[in-house]
Amino acid sequence: MTVALLDCNSFYASCEKVFRPDLVERPVVVLSNNDGCIVAMSREAKNLGIPRGIPLFKARSFLKEKNIEVFSSNYVLYADLSRRVMDLLSSRVPVMEVYSIDEAFLILDHLPALPLPLCRELRDDIQRGIGIPSSVGVAPTKVLAKIAGGIAKKRSDGIFALGDVDAAGAGASPPAFGHEKDIDLVLGETPVEDVWGIASRLAKRLRERGIRTALDLRKVDDAWAKERITLTGLRIVWELRGIPSIVMEEVAPPKKGIMSSKSFGHPVTDLEDLLEAIGDYTARAAAKLRSQESACRLIDIWLTTNRFRESERQYSAGTVVSLAEPTDYLPDLVAAARRGLKSIYKDGYRYKKVAVFLSGIEGMKGLQGDLFRNPDPRKSALMAAVDSMAARYGPGALSCTAMRPSNDWQMRREMLSPLYTTRWDQLPQVRTG
């Protein structure tokens, strides 16, 4: 197998630069929801040594001092540019897995083009046509392609291959980057915690056993790995050996749980405000549920105060509401969510966050019982209308809850870029003369 991992560089920051040519070489950071933390940085910002995940209030003076451009997160823009990248890839490579908003695995076997020239072309086209820089790692398995991708990011040509990938492809061109010996060299220089699937906790345990690099990990005993790092870990070991063991998810499997949760812009004390927020979050989660043609049986609700404010009284609680039958019908879901919230709400606390989690998810088509035999056409029609309104006016357009004008639970987004690509009224302007 020859698999490529194409990864957009500093994706959110790169998206913000697409319509701002004045920012080309400038350091840019993108904030989390609620303008809380720094979650993405352009290369220039990374080079200044800003830690990822640092709260904005701690970084503020540094950002100002270094004249760094700061953006609130604009997920509508990122999702739209991501879709364009993925569409371009799937038009050239029939077998691929969209792994995250900014990454895709591509199967390069049995294509007319050789792997490396094709990757160069894809990378160039994404840059020229969409304006997003990317890098590509090529290898016999996903885990090795991830490692190759990490090296590609540091190279000026943005491409790195582990093994004889062109020979493995159509067989016509000389090997591009190396043979087995070179794979050993690269793995020997890859710290074990840089392997996909091995994070700090696991890495610490491995290091205690003398396993410090990807090369060490590749050599461990199968039975030992199965027992100590589970089958998930054993698959990583096999992949390091070049044996494909992690499946390609060509079509995204339906979600087994759908979450909607956001911190508030200000502390919230009033039950009515919390109910309004939970209605909004439930509407967002339910829209995702319907978009994958599923229904859910369980709704988890939880709420919490701000754990960082140690001087304040803390309270957090959650509850699960079971529905009589699986449903995707928003009024029923909202009613259940409100019931759950009322059962755990306590007066007198300053709340930071509420969350909705839909689970017990089943496909609508597979549903047994009254719902399937006797779907209520009025309910389906209402939900279709809700979904088309949301497509037009945004995900929070309808939530079965009367929204009051001064809802101060809404998140802060004080440095939001325009919706360049999805709203006519926010298209970039070209000045002439």
Residues that bind DNA (CB under 7 A): 32-34, 36-37, 39, 53, 55-57, 99-103, 146, 195-203, 230-232, 253, 255-263, 266-267, 281, 288, 306, 308-309, 320, 352-353, 355, 357, 411
Between residues 175 and 396, which has the closer beta carbon with respect to DNA? 396
Minimum CB separation of residue 252 from DNA in Å reads 9
Between residues 329 and 351, which has the closer beta carbon with respect to DNA? 351
Minimum CB separation of residue 176 from DNA in Å reads 24
- Positive or negative CA dihedral for 223, 226, 229, 233? positive
Would you call 379 exposed, middle or buried from its count of C-beta atoms within 10 A (0-12, 13-18, 19+)?
middle
Between residues 117 and 257, which has the closer beta carbon with respect to DNA? 257
The residues near 224 (Cβ < 8 Å, ≥ 6 apart) are none
Q: How far apart are CA 1 and CA 6, in angstroms?
A: 16
- Distance, first Cα to last Cα, the chain: 55
Give me 210's structure tokens. 């003398």
Q: How far apart are CA 73 and CA 258, in angstroms?
A: 21
Minimum CB separation of residue 312 from DNA in Å reads 9
Q: What is the 3-state secondary structure (H, E, C) of 157-196?
A: CCEEECCCHHHHCCCCCCCCCCCHHHHHHHHHCCEHHHCC
Between residues 345 and 409, which has the closer beta carbon with respect to DNA? 409
Taking alpha carbons only, the member of 307, 301, 305 closest to residue 267 is 305
Minimum CB separation of residue 92 from DNA in Å reads 21
Between residues 123 and 352, which has the closer beta carbon with respect to DNA? 352
Minimum CB separation of residue 229 from DNA in Å reads 9
Minimum CB separation of residue 376 from DNA in Å reads 26
Q: How far apart are CA 70 and CA 345, in angstroms?
A: 36
Q: How far apart are CA 290 and CA 364, in angstroms?
A: 9
Between residues 114 and 145, which has the closer beta carbon with respect to DNA? 145
Minimum CB separation of residue 395 from DNA in Å reads 10
Minimum CB separation of residue 101 from DNA in Å reads 6
Minimum CB separation of residue 39 from DNA in Å reads 5
Q: Is 303 helix (H, G, I), strand (E, B) or coil?
A: strand
Between residues 163 and 233, which has the closer beta carbon with respect to DNA? 233
Minimum CB separation of residue 286 from DNA in Å reads 11
Taking alpha carbons only, the member of 111, 173, 121 closest to residue 6 is 121
Residue 119: C-alpha distances to residues 51, 88, 101, 133, 161 (Å): 31, 12, 19, 13, 10
Between residues 178 and 360, which has the closer beta carbon with respect to DNA? 360
Q: Is 315 helix (H, G, I), strand (E, B) or coil?
A: coil
Can you point out the beta strands (E) in 287-387? Answer: 294-305, 316-327, 351-363
Between residues 410 and 426, which has the closer beta carbon with respect to DNA? 410
Query: Do 380 and 295 meet the contact criterion of CB atoms below 8 Å apart?
Result: no
Minimum CB separation of residue 202 from DNA in Å reads 3
Between residues 127 and 306, which has the closer beta carbon with respect to DNA? 306
Between residues 20 and 297, which has the closer beta carbon with respect to DNA? 297
Taking alpha carbons only, the member of 321, 275, 271 closest to residue 300 is 321
Query: Do 105 and 137 meet the contact criterion of CB atoms below 8 Å apart?
Result: no
Q: Is 83 helix (H, G, I), strand (E, B) or coil?
A: helix
